[in-house]
Structures are given as C-alpha cells and as structure tokens.
C-alpha cells in the first residue's frame, strides 16, 4: 500500500515555535490595529459596499466571449515597481489616465470570492485584455472564506471542513479566472484578513485551507499567492514554510503600512518566497489623483517573475512534475501528480508492465502531446515508446531491438541539443557509456561513445542541469563506495566528475524528477531500501537539501520513473 505524505504531518509544530513580530515596534501594525481608518485591506474591501456584492459579482463575472480579445499572458508576469489596488476596478478611461500620468504599472483586481466587498462593473474579460495590452500587470485577488477566529459577519472557514473548502474555493477562483481570460500560470492570490486573537486551532484551519487551495490551483495549472498582514497571517505562513507536507503558496503579498517601498521585511527570512515572489502593500487607503482622475487606493510594491518551468517530469501537463512507479503485485504503472510539495491524484497507465525490465520516462520524446514512457521488453530485448497523452498512454511504437545488451537505460534530456530527447546506456559487456540521440521515434541513429569504465556505477541519473550551464548533466552512484558523483555535461563526453554525496547505497531507484518544486534547480527521488520511504532530494546548487519524505509504502514498488 502506497501512502502519500499529506497535511497530517504538519501538526507536529508547537504554537510557541511560530515567529511572531513584536507588535510594539511594528508601526504599521499598530496603526492598522488601532485606527479605524487603518483597517487592513480585507476588512475595508469586504465591508465596503456589502449590499452590492451579489449583484455586482453577478454583473462582473458574466463571461465575455469574443475572438477580438488580445492574448493575455500569465499575470502578474515579470515586474518590479509600484502598483495599487482599488476596491472597484477602475474604468478603462481611468486606467488610461493613470497609465499615462501615474508611476503605477500594476493593479490588484478583486476577481472573486464570497467576501469580496465591491461591485466590479468594469471587470470583464475585455477589460483584462485591454489593460494587459496597455502594459498593466494584474494581481488577481480572491476574497473568500475568512479565518475561523476572525470577528466578522462574513462566511468563515469551518475547521472540520478546511481542506474541502480550500479546494472548493480554488475551483471557484479558477472558474472566475477563466471567465476573465486569465490564463494558466497566473498567480491567484487569496486575501486572508489578518486574524489577530486566534489560537492554534485557528492557525491549523487556515494552514489546512491554504495548503488545499494551493495544491488545487496547481492541479489546474494556476499558481498560488497569499495576502495578509504581518502580525498573524504572514507569521503563520512563515512558520509553516518548510513544514513537511505543507503546500505553501508560491507568492506572498504582505501588508505593512510603513510607506517603505520594498519587498524585504525582518519578519520574512530572505530565502523565503525568493527570488521575485513577493508583493508588499506598504501604503494604506488614501486618495491619489493622476491625469485628473482620483481613486482611493492602497499602495503596493511588487517584485515578481514567473516560476521557472520544469524541463522534465510533467507527465500530466499542469506545469508540475510527477512521479511514476510500477506495482509488481498488479503489473500496473501509476503516476502521482506533483504539486511542488506533495503527491496526489494518481493516474494509471494500464497493466502488463511486469513483462518489462526497464521502464523510464523519456520527456516529450516524440514532441507530440505530453511526456512519454519508454520500456524494454524482457523476453525480446525490444525497446518500446509509449506516447503519453497527459491522462494515459496511446499505442506503442517499437524503437529497436537488441537493447538487452545494455543496462542503466536512462533519459538524459536533449544532451546534444538538437531538439530531441536522448537516452544514455552502459554496454554491459564493456562498461562503455553511450549516448543514443533521439529522433522522436523509430530506430536510433548510430550511438555515440561517451566514456569507459561505467560498470563501476550501478545507478545512473541524468538530464538535470546541476551546474546551470545549459547542458544536461549525469549523476552516478559508484557501486563499491556508495558515493554519488556529478559529471557535468557538455558537447561530447562529460567533464571530470565531482563527488556530491556519500552513503547512497542505502537507496535505490535514483530517478530524475525534473524541477519538482520549480525553484530553478533539478530534483531527484529515491527509495530508502530499509524503510520503503520515497524521498525528494532538492539540489541547492552546490549540495543537497535535507531529504523530504514524499511517501511511504514504496518498498515493493520498482522501478520509479
């Protein structure tokens, strides 16, 4: 039985471990806490114009189909600079005046949620297309269920239903985003009003809710953001940042009204939500006039860019790499969808795989549809390509015969950089390492000798760009020592190896995972022989982070792919 680590692991952290900024020295928080005019954005946005919410939302969310709309890229895209948010999205004419006369190039749009406060007569797909074409960066903000410990008449999270509610809110947010023409890879921010006065149950409910929100957005190809104030909402996210199983938001929008336009903050460790994953709301509500147009706004400072894309491992096509394995008891191959932190949503690639003694993922080998699977048939030595569809595989194609003379058949990405995915393998009789340049299907052209002496290694892993030079690299475990070595790739034979680990003979199935967490660096998975746990290994640029357990019960599951 394979179990996947989930939110249950999160509960080990004591409430006293949380980082909590000192309120007495936090002028922005004091201001927002004590002054009615300083109510944080969510309060103001949710309470203003409450009577108009339903009608306004209905009007605003009417889909506006039409082929004339300009293409909209993922929002907010790449931007460092000033932004603003207004309770109601300004009209096109107002936006034009501010585009011409104000320093702002980003605008927060309240695009959905039961707690959204203002009518949105302007906010349509046409508006979105027009504003992005005019050069505006949009920050989609969803104001849904609020923390259970918040004193509000608005709907709140039910701690017993927090995960289900987080998923449901994410589904609604995606529907609203689609109506507005906001494409996948856009960041959908959740506006969680700060919940001072809460307790551990409240924090737990918010984290469970947000974890489910983020995971569900990832399932659907959208990215997650979190907005709150520093006092509690952001402090809880900071405390949970590295908690195993917690699917943290990809981007952070934090409120500290100290008029300092920066995304740095002493309450947020520098390595968190970095690089370019932050927005600060640094100015509270006030009127500004540009080009003769006055709007009541909050001031924001953005430093954002899209997440790096994984180059490998996204079988399901939602932007996040996945993990596959064979269950020998059934002969089935399964693929668990990754969301950057955990695994969920298993799909099955059929049965009958016990006749194969090699099963690997091959990237998008045939350059059609999604990622593909390659397998070697034990009885014949034939190599087969199973084109992936994102949901499964379609009819197989024979790539060649005689493959039982090699071992460690390994995907290496596009090693020779001709646009096609390639394979590596070791000739069992000689220990020679060969590159098999892919052509997308059919027989491989002449293989290329890359090196000798490779019978001294018993695990090969390739395709990740560990030294960030644009060439896929090779990782190998030395049989006699259990050391892990990195062989930097280049045109021709790999460069001189460097040792990047020891003790790896306690593991098996060291498999490339692509960039699982989309931090721009390759990741790897392996099964611990003694426990059957599957671990993720994050490459940090010069070494590995502490392994992260992704699942248990993998003792009998082999191979991973």
Q: Which residues bind Ca ion (CB under 5 A)?
A: 314, 316, 318, 320, 322, 414, 416, 418, 420, 422, 465, 467, 469, 471, 473, 515, 517, 519, 521, 523
4, containing H or E segment: strand 3-4
Are 448 and 434 within 8 A, CB to CB?
yes
Helices (H), 38-91: 41-47, 53-60
CB of 51 to Ca ion, least distance (A): 43
Q: Which of 53, 126, 114, 58 is nearest to 88 (CA)?
A: 53
Contacts of 186 (CB under 8 A, 6+ apart): 74, 75, 76, 140, 177, 222, 223
Shortest Cβ 475–Ca ion spacing (Å) = 11
Shortest gap between Cβ of 518 and Ca ion (angstroms)?
7
Locate 533 and state its tokens: 């746990």
What is the rounded distance in angstroms from the CA atom of residue 392 to the CA atom of residue 387? 9
Concatenated DSSP letters of 285-325: EEEEEETTEEEEEEEEEEEE-PPPPPSS--SSSSSS--EEE
With beta carbons less than 8 A apart as the criterion, state whether 382 and 400 touch.
yes
Q: How far is the CB of 210 from Ca ion (least distance, A)?
A: 21
Instruction: Let me know: does 515 contact 472? Beta carbons within 8 Å.
Output: no
Q: Are strands 433-436 and 383-386 parallel, antiparallel or unpaired?
A: unpaired
Closer residue to Ca ion (CB): 181 or 411: 411
Nearest to Ca ion of 408, 422 (CB atom): 422
Nearer Cβ to Ca ion (147/335): 335
Q: How far is the CB of 455 from Ca ion (least distance, A)?
A: 24
> Six-digit token pair at 451?
């090196």
Residue nearest to Ca ion (CB): 316
CA atoms of 23 and 401, how far apart (whole Å): 70
Task: Tell me whether strands 484-487 and 373-377 are parallel, antiparallel or unpaired.
Answer: unpaired
């Amino acid at each position: 039985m394979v179990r996947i680590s989930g939110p249950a692991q999160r509960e080990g952290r004591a409430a006293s471990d949380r980082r909590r900024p000192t309120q007495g020295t936090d002028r922005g928080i004091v201001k927002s806490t004590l002054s009615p005019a300083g109510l944080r954005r969510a309060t103001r946005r949710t309470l203003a114009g409450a009577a108009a919410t339903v009608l306004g939302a209905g009007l605003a969310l009417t889909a506006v189909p039409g082929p004339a709309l300009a293409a909209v890229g993922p929002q907010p895209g790449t931007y460092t600079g000033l932004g603003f948010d207004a309770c109601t999205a300004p009209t096109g004419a107002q936006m034009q005046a501010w585009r011409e006369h104000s320093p702002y190039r980003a605008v927060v749009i309240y695009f959905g949620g039961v707690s959204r406060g203002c009518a949105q007569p302007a906010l349509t797909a046409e508006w979105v297309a027009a504003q992005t074409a005019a050069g505006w960066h949009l920050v989609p903000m969803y104001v849904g269920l609020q923390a259970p410990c918040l004193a509000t008449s608005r709907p709140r999270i039910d701690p017993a239903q927090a995960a289900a509610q987080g998923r449901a809110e994410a589904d609604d947010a995606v529907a609203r985003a689609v109506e507005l023409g906001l494409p996948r890879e856009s960041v959908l921010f959740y506006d969680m009003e700060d919940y001072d006065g809460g307790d551990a149950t409240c924090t737990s409910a918010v984290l469970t809710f947000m974890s489910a929100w983020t995971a569900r957005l990832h399932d659907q190809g959208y990215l997650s953001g979190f907005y709150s104030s520093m006092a509690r909402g952001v402090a809880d996210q900071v405390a949970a940042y590295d908690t195993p199983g917690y699917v943290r938001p990809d981007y952070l929008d934090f409120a500290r009204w100290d008029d300092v336009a920066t995304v740095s903050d002493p309450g947020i460790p520098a390595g968190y939500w970095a690089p370019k994953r932050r927005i600060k709301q640094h100015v509270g509500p006030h009127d500004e006039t540009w080009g003769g147009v006055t709007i009541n706004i909050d001031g924001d400072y953005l430093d954002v860019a899209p997440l790096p894309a994984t180059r490998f491992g996204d079988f399901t096509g939602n932007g996040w790499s996945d993990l596959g394995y064979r269950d020998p008891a059934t002969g089935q191959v399964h693929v668990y969808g990754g969301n950057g932190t955990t695994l969920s949503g298993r799909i099955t690639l059929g049965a009958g795989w016990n006749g194969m003694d090699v099963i690997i993922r091959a990237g998008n080998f045939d350059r059609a549809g999604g990622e593909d699977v390659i397998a070697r048939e034990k009885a014949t030595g034939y190599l087969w390509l199973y084109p992936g569809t994102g949901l499964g595989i379609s009819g197989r194609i024979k790539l060649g015969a005689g493959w039982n003379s090699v071992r460690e058949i390994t995907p290496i990405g596009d090693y020779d950089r001709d646009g096609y995915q390639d394979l590596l393998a070791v000739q069992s009789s000689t220990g020679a390492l060969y590159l098999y340049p892919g052509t997308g299907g059919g027989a491989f052209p002449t293989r290329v000798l890359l090196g000798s002496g490779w019978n001294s290694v018993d695990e090969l892993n390739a395709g990740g760009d560990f030294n960030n030079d644009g060439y896929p690299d090779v990782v190998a475990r030395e049989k006699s020592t259990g050391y892990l070595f990195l062989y930097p790739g280049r045109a021709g034979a790999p460069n001189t190896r460097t040792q990047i680990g020891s003790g790896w003979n306690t593991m098996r199935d060291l498999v490339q995972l692509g960039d699982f967490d989309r931090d721009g660096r390759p990741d790897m998975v392996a099964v611990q022989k003694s426990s059957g746990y599957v671990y993720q290994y994050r490459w940090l640029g010069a070494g590995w982070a502490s392994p992260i357990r992704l699942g248990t019960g993998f003792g009998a599951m082999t191979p991973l792919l």
